[in-house]
């Protein structure tokens, strides 16, 4: 079985893209935990709903950037062909 250099680079790019998408797991778990704690906090203190919601959404937006960076790396690895 002979694999050329370009085929090897394409295969490694696909594997790297898959590994980069693992970065989406952390933000998903973190956002779920944040939403759960936010709902719990609103249940305990309904008067502070707007402050809790805005703080929670800001935190989720910051956490989501990690997943977006991983997605961007995966797209670059899949569609940008080095040495080709």
Query: What are the residue ranges spanned by the domains of the chain?
Result: 22-78
- pLDDT, tens digit, 9 for 90 and up, residues 12-66: 888 989 998 888 888 889 888 988 999 999 999 999 999 999 998 898 888 888 8
Instruction: Give the chain's radius of gyration (CA, Å).
Output: 20
Query: Would you state the torsion angle of the CA atoms of residues 64, 67, 72, 73, taken in this order, to the nearest 10 degrees?
Result: 150
Please determine, looking at this structure, whether the domain spanning 22-78 carries the CATH number 1.20.20.10.
yes
What pTM does this model have?
0.72
> What pLDDT, in 10s, does the model give residues 58-70?
988 888 888 899 8
CA angle in degrees (0–180, nearest 5) for 77-81-84: 155
């Amino acid at each position: 079985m002979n694999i050329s250099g370009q085929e090897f680079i394409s295969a490694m790019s696909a594997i790297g893209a898959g590994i980069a998408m693992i970065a989406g797991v952390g933000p998903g778990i973190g956002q779920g935990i944040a939403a759960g704690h936010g709902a719990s906090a609103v249940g305990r203190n309904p008067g502070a709903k707007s402050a809790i919601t805005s703080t929670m959404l800001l935190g989720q937006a910051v956490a989501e950037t990690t997943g977006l960076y991983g997605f961007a790396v995966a797209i670059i690895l899949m569609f940008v062909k080095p040495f080709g």
